[in-house]
């Protein structure tokens, strides 16, 4: 009998990020028993890759699902290789509010803060 093990990825959400995601999920009125936050790496941006965040009603069949701070996080296999060990935070300042990424796999970035290279 052979078993296949689903790949794993470690993505962290700070407490502030978890609370903000829960608030967004409540506003979107998604089914809490299946919904989650999709964290993705997409080709593009001024440095080669950019981050994507989206509230989704359910994961795709091939997603890696991680429970972090009471939030289900959905990561596709392509993104997982670039997101290992990444911490997502939510910051609010005089300049505005939004999610930030601390990615140990990133070798560079640009001034916009949402694009990176590996």
Residue 64, in any domain of the structure? yes
Write out the residue range of the structural domain in which residue 26 sits.
11-105
Residue 110, in any domain of the structure? no
The sign of the torsion formed by the CA atoms of 18, 98, 65, 60 equals positive
Q: How many domains does the chain have?
A: 1
Residue 3, in any domain of the structure? no
Structure tokens, 46: 């001024």
Residue 19, in any domain of the structure? yes
What global pTM score does this model have? 0.84
Q: What is the pLDDT of residues 15-35, one digit of tens each?
A: 999 999 999 999 999 998 999
Instruction: Output the DSSP codes for 30-98.
Output: --TTT-EEEEEEEE-STTSEEEEEEEESS--TT-EEEEETTEEEEE-HHHHHHHTTEEEEEEEETTEEE
Residue 42, in any domain of the structure? yes
Residue 51, in any domain of the structure? yes
Residue 5, in any domain of the structure? no
28: domain CATH number is 2.60.300.12
Q: What is the pLDDT of residues 47-80, one digit of tens each?
A: 688 899 999 999 999 999 999 999 999 999 999 9
Structure tokens, 85: 């060990």
């Amino acid at each position: 009998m052979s078993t296949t093990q689903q790949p794993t990825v470690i993505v962290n959400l700070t407490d502030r990020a978890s609370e903000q995601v829960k608030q967004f999920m409540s506003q979107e009125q998604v089914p809490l028993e299946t919904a989650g936050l999709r964290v993705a790496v997409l080709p593009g941006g001024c440095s080669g890759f950019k981050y994507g965040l989206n509230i989704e009603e359910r994961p795709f069949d091939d997603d890696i699902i991680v429970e972090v701070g009471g939030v289900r996080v959905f990561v596709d296999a392509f993104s997982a290789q670039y997101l290992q060990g990444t911490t997502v935070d939510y910051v609010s300042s005089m300049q505005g509010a939004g999610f930030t990424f601390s990615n140990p796999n990133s070798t560079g970035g640009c001034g916009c803060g949402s694009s990176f290279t590996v």
